[in-house]
């Protein structure tokens, strides 16, 4: 097994803590603005590292030239288990920080650290460690911003447990949720469950009342059971196609519910391993790109070399761009980045470049009720953005108006 000490990571921006920056405007070919694709033009960034206004005319002051590029909001990963040798289940604040730094260098500027199915007390410790990092950041932070927490489990079914630990599965329990939410200092934004489990509908209704997104995943629910969950407030499907009852013409299953509910959001892992491009095409055609969320489901070994690792307490093998359970050989998770996912759906000719970018920015933010903090370029928000080449490959990432690629 590879053992990598990620505490040696150079935390970018540390020497600039609390310092003001020189305001500037970036000049590029295309800008993905909230209401349109604009450009060529200029996007101004204030000395506080926040977005100012877009203009077609050259403003006064410093100009950063980015010829032939796209400028877009930083990518928003709302289902991710870690990166660069650290997992969200390590209950390690330093590891969460290291992951955040590396994610920003790969284009992701906001994320929801995602838990696994583990003993309840371990989930509490994981939530506590994530919250400590999130609450410690100031305006000079140079990593991906923690916009909340996604609880992936433990309210799942064994039939589709996937890489979750079956020993810790249980029925939905709002009391447990409140325990975890207390540890998270109110940061939990989303919780997933299998609708066929006892008490699931009451749990979903309770989440709805607290402004938390209920997600359907790792489930063998029938179409009717899944629709009953949607009826009481579930609005999201976890990594659609993976870990759920598939579509049959006499039993549409969970996939059928995801495809046929236009108001819900469907995650999809576009690494070419978890879901083939043709299936992604079906999903986009059925729901419209405005309700398809690009995610990575990346494990803590993302960004590292191929080899053997531990994820969610289970041994995994990373090879050829994906992770597999060592003992079963089945997929355990991805090592994808959102920058790669955006290029994939564009290169597969499924959506336009603009749509691909929005599926990794404003759509995940809206689906998880964090669009007030991230996912779009708007005056007064932190200037977290990416610069993409014409082929959508990542050229640069800015967090708070500062480039992090060279740090």
Q: What is the pLDDT of residues 265-306, one digit of tens each?
A: 999 999 999 999 999 999 999 999 999 999 999 999 999 999
Answer for the pair 33, 358: CB distance below 8 angstroms, yes or no. Answer: no
Indicate if 346 and 284 belong to the same structural domain.
yes
What DSSP element (H or E) covers 311?
strand 307-311
Indicate if 107 and 211 belong to the same structural domain.
yes
Does residue 89 lie in a domain region?
A: yes
Q: What's the predicted TM-score (pTM) here?
A: 0.93
Indicate if 389 and 268 belong to the same structural domain.
no
Indicate if 49 and 191 belong to the same structural domain.
no
Active site residues: 297
- Position 12 scores a pLDDT of 32
What CATH number does residue 236 fall under? Answer: 3.20.20.140
SS3 59: coil
- Position 1 scores a pLDDT of 27
The span from the CA of 238 to the CA of 153, in Å, is: 11
Indicate if 266 and 389 belong to the same structural domain.
no
Does residue 398 lie in a domain region?
A: yes
- Position 15 scores a pLDDT of 33
Indicate if 129 and 237 belong to the same structural domain.
yes
- List residues bridging with 292 in a β-sheet: 266
For 17-53, write each residue's pLDDT tens digit.
Answer: 445 799 999 999 999 999 999 999 999 999 999 999 9
Does residue 110 lie in a domain region?
A: yes
- Position 3 scores a pLDDT of 29
- Position 406 scores a pLDDT of 66
The span from the CA of 213 to the CA of 208, in Å, is: 7
Does residue 373 lie in a domain region?
A: no
Does residue 15 lie in a domain region?
A: no
- Position 407 scores a pLDDT of 56
- Position 70 scores a pLDDT of 98
What CATH number does residue 65 fall under? Answer: 2.30.40.10
Does residue 9 lie in a domain region?
A: no
- The parent domain of residue 30 ranges over 20-71+382-403
Indicate if 59 and 80 belong to the same structural domain.
no
3-state secondary structure the chain: CCCCCHHHCCCCCHHHCCCCCCCEEEEEEEEECCCCEECCEEEEECCCCEEEEEECCCCCCEEEEEEEEEEEECEEEEEECEECCEEHHHCCHHHHHHHHHHHHHCCEEEEEEECCCCCHHHHHHHHHHHHHHHHHCCCCCCCCEECCEEEEEEECCHHHCCCCCHHHCCCCCHHHHHHHHHHCCCCEEEEEECCCCCCHHHHHHHHHHCCCEEEECCECCCHHHHHHHHHHCCCEECCCCCCECCCCCCCCHHHHHHHHCCCCEEEEECCCCCCCHHHHHHHHHHHCHHHEEEECCECCCCCCCCEEEEECCEEEEEECCEEEECCCCCEEEECCCHHHHHHHHHHCCCCCHHHHHHCCCHHHHHHCCCCCCCCCCCCCCECCEEEECCCCCEEEEEECCEECCCC
SS3 227: helix
SS3 340: helix
Does residue 3 lie in a domain region?
A: no
Indicate if 350 and 360 belong to the same structural domain.
yes
Indicate if 100 and 129 belong to the same structural domain.
yes
- List residues bridging with 316 in a β-sheet: 309, 325
**Whole-number Cα distances in Å, 235 to 78, 199, 215, 368:** 14, 18, 6, 9
pLDDT in tens, the chain (407 residues): 222 223 222 223 333 444 579 999 999 999 999 999 999 999 999 999 999 999 999 999 999 999 999 999 999 999 999 999 999 999 999 999 999 999 999 999 999 999 999 999 999 999 999 999 999 988 888 999 999 999 999 999 999 988 888 999 999 999 999 999 999 999 999 999 999 999 999 999 999 999 999 999 999 999 999 999 999 999 999 999 999 999 999 999 999 999 999 999 999 999 999 999 999 999 999 999 999 999 999 999 999 999 999 876 788 899 988 889 888 888 888 999 999 999 999 999 999 999 999 999 999 999 999 999 999 999 999 999 999 999 999 999 999 999 998 65
Indicate if 334 and 301 belong to the same structural domain.
yes
Indicate if 290 and 356 belong to the same structural domain.
yes
Does residue 337 lie in a domain region?
A: yes
Indicate if 52 and 148 belong to the same structural domain.
no
Query: What domain count does the chain have?
Result: 2
């Amino acid at each position: 097994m590879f053992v990598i000490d990620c505490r040696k990571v150079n935390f970018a921006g540390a020497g600039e803590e609390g310092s003001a920056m020189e305001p500037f405007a970036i000049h590029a070919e295309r800008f993905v603005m909230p209401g349109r694709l604009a450009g060529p033009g200029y996007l101004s960034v204030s000395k506080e590292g926040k977005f100012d206004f877009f203009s077609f005319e050259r403003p006064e002051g410093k100009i950063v030239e980015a010829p032939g590029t796209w400028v877009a909001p930083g990518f928003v990963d709302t289902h991710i288990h870690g990166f660069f040798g650290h997992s969200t289940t390590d209950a390690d604040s330093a590891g969460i920080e290291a992951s955040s730094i590396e994610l920003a260098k790969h284009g992701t500027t906001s994320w929801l650290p995602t838990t696994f199915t583990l003993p309840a007390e371990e989930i509490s410790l994981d939530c506590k460690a994530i919250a400590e990092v999130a609450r410690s950041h100031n305006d000079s932070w140079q990593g991906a911003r923690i916009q909340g927490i996604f609880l992936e489990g433990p309210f799942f079914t064994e039939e589709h447990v996937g890489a979750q630990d079956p020993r810790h599965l249980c029925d939905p329990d709002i009391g447990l949720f409140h325990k975890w939410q207390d540890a998270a200092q109110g940061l939990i934004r989303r919780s997933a469950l299998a609708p066929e489990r006892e008490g699931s509908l009451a749990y979903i209704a309770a989440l709805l009342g607290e402004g938390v997104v209920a997600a359907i995943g790792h489930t063998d629910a029938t179409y009717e059971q899944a629709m009953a969950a949607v009826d009481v407030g579930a609005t999201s499907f976890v990594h659609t196609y993976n870990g759920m009852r598939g579509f049959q013409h006499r039993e549409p299953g969970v996939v059928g519910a995801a495809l046929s509910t236009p108001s819900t959001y469907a995650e999809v892992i576009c690494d070419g391993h978890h879901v083939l491009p043709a299936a992604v095409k079906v999903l986009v055609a059925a729901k419209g790109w405005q309700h398809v969320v690009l995610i990575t489901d990346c494990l803590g070994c993302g960004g590292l070399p191929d080899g053997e690792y531990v994820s969610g307490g289970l041994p995994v093998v990373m090879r050829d761009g994906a992770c597999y359970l060592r003992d079963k050989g089945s997929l355990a998770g991805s090592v994808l980045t959102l920058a790669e996912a955006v290029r994939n759906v564009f290169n597969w000719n499924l959506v336009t470049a603009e749509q691909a970018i929005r599926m990794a920015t404003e759509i995940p933010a809206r689906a998880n009720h964090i669009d007030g903090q991230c996912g779009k370029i708007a005056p007064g928000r932190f200037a977290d953005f990416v610069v993409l080449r014409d082929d959508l490959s990542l050229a640069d990432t800015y967090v708070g108006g500062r480039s992090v690629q060279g740090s």
